[in-house]
Amino acid sequence: MYFMSVLTDNKPYSKYNGDNYNMGIQERKQREKEMRRKQIMEAAKKVFSAKGFSRATMEEIAGEAELSPGTLYLYFKNKEELHTSLSIDILEYITILMKKIIGKKGIDANEKMEKLKDTFIDVYEYDSMVLINLFHLQSGETLKNLSPEVLEQLKETSADALGAITSIVQEGIDQGLFKERHPVALADIIWATYSGVVLWVDSKRLLNNDKDFVRQTLETAFEIMLKGFEK
């Protein structure tokens, strides 16, 4: 497992921290605020995962976070944005991980694709529920009822994530490894396959009390895709 909690506070703070008293207090406050946010998101994750968006109540999330319902609204405009924040968070993290892969020197596109698959599996295994919520978010109902700002943020993060995949694919084409196809379409297919497998195998598991074959199915899916990409 080469990545840490997405939802635990891992934002880099200014390294230097104490030359100014007010600055310190302000910063501490800032940090506390950030921690509360994470605390709420952590609780929301649990409840949304267990109940789904509609059946989850703000009161239960507040209880889980050991805060009062009112407090939630100091940190998130409403229920929908709290939910979306979870999704954006994981999307951002996936993007960070993918950008690391892109930056890797001395490995070709095939190997990068391998690493991409590993990343996907890791993300899934670390936090399948938030991931599934992310895909749920994609599916219309939520998308239509989002505030413009959050929609914009989601759009950007989303484009960013797709851009990262695209650039790996482009590399493969440039290196003469992959057959020449529209790289964005390929990136779409990669992301769609990932989403699809996670969603589908998960729903099969729910329907039939089946085992969790996501990892295995993702491995096969990528193997097939990679072979299909070849020139």
Partner DNA sequence: GATGAATGAGAGTTCATTCAT
Partner DNA sequence: GATGAATGAACTCTCATTCAT
Given a contact cutoff of 8 angstroms between Cβ atoms, the answer to whether 214 and 128 are in contact is yes
Binder to DNA among 58, 150, 189, 199 (CB under 7 A)?
58
Residue 54 interacts with a second copy (CB under 8 A): yes or no: yes
Given a contact cutoff of 8 angstroms between Cβ atoms, the answer to whether 46 and 11 are in contact is no
Cα angle 120, 123, 124 (rounded to 5 degrees) comes to 85
Residue 56 interacts with DNA (CB under 7 A): yes or no: yes
CB of 204 to a second copy, least distance (A): 7
Q: Return the residue matching tokens 């995949």.
A: 165
2 to 94, 118, 226: CA distances (angstroms): 12, 10, 23
Name the token pair of 85: 């924040």
Name the token pair of 56: 């989850």
Binder to DNA among 69, 96, 114, 193 (CB under 7 A)?
69
Residue 41 interacts with DNA (CB under 7 A): yes or no: no
Residue 160 interacts with DNA (CB under 7 A): yes or no: no
DSSP state of 8: S
Amino acid sitting at position 214: V
Give residues 132-151 in contact with a second copy (rule: CB under 8 A): 132, 135-136, 138-145, 151
Residue 124 interacts with a second copy (CB under 8 A): yes or no: no
Count residues binding DNA (CB under 7 A).
19
116: nearest Cα among 161, 151, 71, 79: 161
Residue 32 interacts with DNA (CB under 7 A): yes or no: yes
- 126: three-class secondary structure by DSSP: helix
Binder to DNA among 8, 52, 59, 192 (CB under 7 A)?
59
Give residues 64-123 in contact with a second copy (rule: CB under 8 A): none
Residue 33 interacts with a second copy (CB under 8 A): yes or no: no
Residues near a second copy (CB under 8 A) are 49, 51-55, 132, 135-136, 138-145, 151, 154-155, 158-159, 181-182, 185-186, 188-189, 191-197, 199-204, 206-208, 213, 216-217, 220-221, 223-230
